[in-house]
Chain A
Amino acid sequence: MISTPAIEMRGIGKRFPGVAALNDVSLVCHAGEVHALVGENGAGKSTLIKVLSGVYQPDDGEIVVDGSAARFRHPVDALHAGISVIYQEFSLLPERTVAQNIFLGRELARNGMLRQAAMRAETRRVLDMFGAGKRIDPDALVVDLDVASQQMVEIAKAIALNAKVLVMDEPTAALNEAECRKLFETVDALRAHGTAVIYITHRMREVTRLANRVTVLKDGEIAARFETVPQPAAIVRAMVGRDIADFYAPFAQPDELGATILAVRGGGNAALRDINFELRAGEILGFAGIQGAGRVALGMAIFGALPFETGAMTLAGESVRFMHPRQAIRAGIGLLPGDRKGEGLALMQSVRDNGMLTSRALGSLAASHKRNRFADLGRMDALLDRMEVKAASYEQEIRLLSGGNQQKAILARWLSLEPRVLIFVEPTRGIDVNAKARIYHLMRDLARAGAGIIMISSDLPEVIGAADRILVMREGAIVAEHGRGASETAIMLDATGEKEAAA
């Protein structure tokens, strides 16, 4: 196809203090094609999109729209140029109606008074364009819509803006199988309509189903470019940049699995029902499921943060009931939260202080480091050294570290307590490939040392690669169990509860 690209990014470079986030990245997308942008977390996809949408200013390179160079100083400049981005975290206002959201910032008005009927009619027209008009009422509050419908509203917002280029950032992350198919049809319709779609994902079946071309980003650089969609294996190799074989730690050998260390019988609360499972010492147990399936709620219930209201739990054979994380920690249970910045770190404090956070909370105030291992700084430093935490000094504020090093510092916090059960929630979210591999191997080391590991992750390949056994959750219950090396498709079918979609 010889035509002017709808959008072209040429030699984009972006540096943040201490890191080169993007280096000489070029990307072309024509009208009426879907260009898949794939890469690991932290590969630079989000940064690239933020440059394209005017959130960040590039340090090098240029953006060309319809053949002429453009400079976006503000997201609105990009919107005016016809570039709309649908981020993973929706930019919708939950307390406003669908119509109010679609016309956010560009409300139709006459003499300063809103033309509500006109906006409502236009909203309905746009929703009808992809068959969502019957489902979604323009006057409904966004907070009352399910996630898939909220996404439809985001797409409708972009279409109402006459976007020529639509960027979708992992749009299926929160969708079930039927909703995914609906979304794919919408993408097909957009393509037929002449929109240039840049589609970000790390799921190979979406690339195969949708893309015309593929670009792979890795560590802020273009790792590969495919003018036609290749075999998934070729894409994965370019994405990971190393052999899958030693990326994940080996699975547990039968003789490494010990006695049952944690068992839950009939556990339930507002978010969970009839939870039954056992975790053995030396085992990594993965929990898969879509967002809101109750995996995180289960972790929180075991940890005593959102306690079980019914059922029983035993830890190393003893019956336990944790109503507060403090009790769970004392009994030897640790939890690495998924939202590192929000729940895991005291950002303004030093690496060492963050490592000592739990120890100090549990030690007595008068504890001397000579008598109390909870207050032993030397031991913490040795742990941080062993985990290869890269920091200028352990007195450095932890917010200045990379995500991978922050995660290792949190892990050190728990290791210093020698936990019997450690719960990892999204252990590798937002960290680079090598740090990921390090975390997987550390998990395995811990398991070999006799701990039971619970791994809760939305990154399905990682659960399959790292866990010895996988439990699938849906709507607050455990619905299936898979052994090591199960297929992604089989797990997704259980997670979404749609057997008939197997074909």
Chain B
Amino acid sequence: MSDATVGQVPATRPRFHFDRWAPALLLMAAVAIYVAACVMTGQTQYLNWSNLLAVVGRSIALGITAIGQTFVILVASIDLSVASLISATAVLASVIMNGAPTMIVPAVAAALALGVTVGLVNGLIITRLDVNPLIATLGVSLVIQGCLSAFVSNFAGSVPPEFQFFAYGNLAGIPFAILFFFALAIAAFLVLRFTRFGSNIYAVGGNQDAAHFAGISTRKVIVITHVICSLCATLAGLYLASRLRSGAPWIGANGVYDLESIAVVVIGGTVLAGGRGGIWGTVAGVMIFSLIDSIFNVLGVDAFVKQVLRGAIIVAAVALYAARSRRIVG
């Protein structure tokens, strides 16, 4: 190599980043398998617009939670308290509303305040007390669940019909909840892609020391992402209260929203080590999960076998990313 070439040869070797496109490819594969399954079993009546909406609609609560989870995982943290928080907000909102339309605004405000509080507590325990996020949020989750179970054991309060619009209403022929989910996803995408805060999130997750040395207040970024995550869990709780017309202390745990939200984020290509990934991967992850369920339903797979296959698919998907993005060192 001579001097002349050093100046001109582009230093960039354009590469196809398989791991960046994997969620989209997986989603396309899931859609193809779903269509094939419907055609092969002669259930083509499921291949229409309203069934597509139904497939998406089944995962709204998981999707909203996973959007929040994406933020904390991007800063290399994690939140195991979302399931308990979902139960807590659903019960809180349902009890405060107690069937009265006038109480909708106070109930929502109280729920959001609870979300901010839990997020702050999680974030501060992690950043100030230096507790591992897994343990910190697990502890907070147990505290929330314990407090909740001390007061209620089954459905408590009720949600007025006006508030049920969240889960059952339609706008321009599309369920309001689906529009809400995509609006939230777009907002999250804009924050991550186009704001300084979003840029800081990737910096903190990518290399906390480098971010610190660049003058980013890493603790603040981590705390705010936890508040965002908890707020999303709160929204998911409100949605479930609206859909179930009341709140119960077991709805969060029943939906396994803590572990499933982490699973869809990871299937969506966001790495647990932080700094890489994004919202559209998570949205794809949610859809893939939803489609897998639908495929099993169409094929009439036994419920327990379904569980086993879902577990296997999560592991296989993540192993696939790991195998393809491995870089040789030495």
Chain A interface (Cβ within 8 Å of chain B)?
53, 55, 74-76, 79, 91-96, 100, 104-107, 109, 112-114, 116, 131-132, 134-137, 140, 144-146, 148-149, 176, 178-179, 181-182, 270-271, 292, 294, 296-297, 300, 306, 498, 500
> A300: nearest residue on chain B (CB-CB)?
B330
Known A-B contacts A114-B196, A135-B7, A270-B328; A93 and B210 likewise in contact (beta carbons under 8 Å)? yes
Contact of A105 among B3, B10, B211 (CB under 8 A): B211
Contact between B276 and A145 (Cβ–Cβ < 8 Å)?
no
Name which residue of chain B comes closest to A272, CB basis. B330
**Residue B254 at the A interface, CB < 8 A?**
no
9 shortest interchain CB distances as A-B pairs: A105-B214, A76-B215, A297-B330, A149-B11, A91-B210, A93-B206, A140-B12, A75-B213, A104-B214
Q: Are A146 and B11 in contact (CB under 8 A)?
A: yes
- Known A91-B209, A94-B206; contact A296-B215, beta-carbon cutoff 8 A: no
- Interface mask (B176-219 → A, CB under 8 Å = 1, otherwise 0): 00000000000000000011110110110011011111111000
A297 to B327, CA, bound (A): 13
A296 partner residues in chain B, CB cutoff 8 A: 330
B330 adjacent to A292 (CB under 8 Å): yes
Q: Are A112 and B213 in contact (CB under 8 A)?
A: no
Do B2 and A145 touch across chains, with their CB atoms under 8 A apart? no
Q: List 30 A-B contacts (CB under 8 A).
A: A55-B213, A74-B215, A75-B212, A76-B213, A79-B215, A93-B203, A93-B275, A96-B202, A100-B199, A100-B202, A104-B199, A104-B210, A104-B216, A105-B211, A109-B195, A109-B196, A112-B195, A112-B197, A134-B8, A136-B11, A137-B10, A144-B13, A144-B14, A149-B12, A176-B1, A182-B6, A270-B328, A292-B330, A300-B330, A498-B1
A112 touches B196 (CB 8 A): yes
Per-position 1/0 for B1-26, Cβ under 8 A of A: 11100111111111100000000000
A297 to B7, CA, bound (A): 31
B residues with CB within 8 A of A: 1-3, 6-15, 194-197, 199-200, 202-203, 206-207, 209-216, 275-276, 328, 330
Q: How far is the CA of A30 from the CA of B9 in the complex (A)?
A: 36
Q: Interface centre among B195, B209, B210, by most A CB within 10 Å?
A: B210
Q: Are A145 and B196 in contact (CB under 8 A)?
A: no
Provided the pairs A91-B209, A95-B275 are in contact, do residues A178 and B1 lie with their beta carbons within 8 angstroms? Answer: yes
Contact of B2 among A106, A178, A270 (CB under 8 A): A178
* Contact A306–B12 (Cβ < 8 Å): no
Bound complex: CA A185 to CA B11 (Å) = 18
Chain A, Cβ-Cβ closest to B5: A178
Contacts of A74 on B, CB cut-off 8 Å? 215
Q: Assuming A75-B212, A144-B14, A498-B1, is B195 touching A131 (CB within 8 A)? A: no
Say whether A105 contacts B216, CB under 8 Å.
Answer: yes
CB pair A113 B12 closer than 8 Å: no
Given contacts A135-B11, A144-B14, contact A91 B195 (CB under 8 A): no
* A53 surroundings in chain B (CB, below 8 A): 213
Q: How far is the CA of A300 from the CA of B9 in the complex (A)?
A: 33
A178 touches B3 (CB 8 A): yes
Report the bound CA distance from A79 to B215 in whole Å: 9
Closest to A295 in B: B330
Q: Which residues of B contact A292 (CB under 8 A)?
A: 330
Smallest beta-carbon distance A93→chain B, Å: 4
* Alpha-carbon distance A49/B197, docked complex (angstroms): 30
- Closest Cβ of chain B to A167, distance in Å, is 13
Task: Name which of A74, A114, A149, A300 has the most chain B CB atoms within 10 A of its CB.
Answer: A114
A297 surroundings in chain B (CB, below 8 A): 330
**Chain A residues closer than 8 Å to B213, beta-carbon distance:** 53, 55, 75-76, 91
Query: A357 vs B211: C-alpha distance in the bound complex, in angstroms?
Result: 37
Cβ–Cβ contact B11 & A113, under 8 A: no
CB-defined contacts of B210 to chain A, threshold 8 Å:
91-93, 104
Q: A107-B196, A135-B9 are in contact. Are A144 and B15 (CB under 8 A)?
A: yes
CB-based nearest B residue for A269: B328
Complex: how many Å from CA A53 to CA B210? 13
Residues from chain B with a CB closer than 8 A to the CB of A294 are 330
Closest B residue to A145 using CB positions: B11
The answer to whether residues A137 and B6 also contact, given A104-B211, A270-B328 and a CB cut-off of 8 A, is: no
Who on chain B is nearest to A80 by CB? B215
Tell me the smallest distance from the CB of B127 to a CB of chain A, in Å.
Answer: 16
With both beta carbons as reference points, the residue of chain B lying nearest to A134 in the complex is identified as B8
Task: Give the Cβ gap from A241 to chain B, nearest Cβ, in Å.
Answer: 33
Tell me, rounded to whole Å, the shortest Cβ–Cβ distance linking A494 to chain B: 15
Is A113 a contact of B10 with CB atoms below 8 Å? no
CA distance A176 to B1 in the complex (A): 10
Closest chain-B Cβ to A426's Cβ sits at a distance in Å of 13
Q: Please measure, in the bound complex, the distance between the C-alpha atom of A113 and the C-alpha atom of B197, giving whole angstroms.
A: 9
Query: A53 to B215, alpha carbons, bound, how many Å?
Result: 12
Distance (Å) between the CB of B263 and the closest chain A CB? Answer: 22
CA–CA, A214 and B330, complex, Å? 33
A138 → chain B, closest Cβ, in Å? 11
- B10 surroundings in chain A (CB, below 8 A): 134-137
Complex contact A113–B215 (CB within 8 A):
no
Cβ-closest chain B residue relative to A150 = B11
Q: In the complex, which residues of chain B have a beta carbon less than 8 angstroms from the beta carbon of A306?
A: 330
In the bound complex, what is the Cα–Cα distance between A145 and B209 (angstroms)? 21
* Residue in B197, B202, B215 whose beta carbon sits within 8 Å of that of A95 in the complex: B202
Within the complex, what minimum Cβ distance (angstroms) separates A501 from chain B? 9
CB distance from B157 to the nearest CB of A (A): 38
Q: Which residues of A contact B207 (CB under 8 A)?
A: 91-93
Return chain B residues, CB-CB under 8 Å to A113. Answer: 194-195
Q: Which residues of A sit under 8 angstroms from B1, Cβ to Cβ?
A: 176, 178, 498
